[in-house]
Structure 1
Amino acid sequence: MASLQTPLLAALILLAMVIPATQAGPYGANVEDSVCCRDHIRHPVPGRMVKYYYWTSDSCRRPGVVLLTLRGREICADPRQPWVKKILQKLDKVAVGSGPRHRE
C-alpha cells in the first residue's frame, strides 16, 4: 500500500503546481471567435517578457487582456492594473505604424 501512495502523492503535487499556472490563461467562450479570461494573473509580469497582447471579447463577463510572452505563453491580465497599463502603453509605442490590434 505504501508503494502506491508515493506515486499518487507525487501526481497530486504535480497537478497542484500545474493548475494555478493555467488558470490565468484564456479560454474559448460559447461565442464564435471569442476568448475570455476566467481569472487574472495576480503578480506582475516583467514588461520585457511580453511581445504582444490582445483584448478579450466584449461578450466576456470579465474584461481582460491576454499578454503573449516571448516563450509563447498566453496570460490573462486585468487591464485596470497599473503594471498592465504600462506594458500596453510600451507595446503600443513600439507598434506605431503597424496598424490597430486592439480596441480603445
Structure 2
Amino acid sequence: MKTSHIFLLCILGAALLYSVICSNEVGPDDCCFKFYPRRVKKNLIHSYYMTDYRCPKTGAILVTQKSRHICADPNLSWVENIMKSVDESSF
C-alpha cells in the first residue's frame, strides 16, 4: 500500500514539474535592447506601443507606414512629440 502511494506522489510531482517547465508564458513578446540612434520623421509613423514592464528597458516601439518596428527612447523629446502626435490623430 505504501509503495503505491509513493508511486502516485512521484507521478503527481512529475506532472507538476512538467507543467511549470513547459508553460507557454515565457516572457514578453517585444523588448528594446538598443534604441534607434537617429530621429524619425513624424509623418512616417503610423502608431506606437510601449514595451512590456518585464523588459529590461522601457521603450516606445514606433510602427512605420510600412509596418517596420523601431525601438526608441520614450524620454527623448522627439519621441514624445511623435507619441503625442499619434495620440492626437487617433481621436
TM-score (norm 2): 0.69
Q: Are 1:34 and 2:29 matched, yes or no?
A: yes
Amino acid at match of 2:54: S
User: Greater CA deviation, 33-42 or 54-63?
Assistant: 33-42
Equivalent of 1:62 in 52, 57, 60: 57
Equivalent of 1:92 in 68, 87, 90: 87
1:28-66, CA deviations, whole angstroms, 9 ceiling, x for partnerless residues? xx41x5321110001000010000101100001111010
Residue 76 of structure 1 and its aligned partner are, at CA, apart by 0.3
Matches within 5 A, 1:8-47: 30-31=26-27, 33-47=28-42
Equivalent residue number for residue 47 of structure 2 = 52
For structure 2, the 5+ residue unaligned runs are 1-25
For structure 1, the 5+ residue unaligned runs are 1-29, 97-104
Residue 72 of structure 1 and its aligned partner are, at CA, apart by 1.3
Task: Indicate the RMSD between aligned Cα atoms, in angstroms.
Answer: 1.0
Equivalent residue number for residue 75 of structure 1 = 70
- Give every structure 1 segment of 4 or more consecutive aligned residues whose post-TM-superposition deviation is greater than 4 Å: none
Residue 82 of structure 1 and its aligned partner are, at CA, apart by 0.3
Residue 95 of structure 1 and its aligned partner are, at CA, apart by 1.1
Equivalent residue number for residue 13 of structure 1 = none
Number of equivalent positions = 66
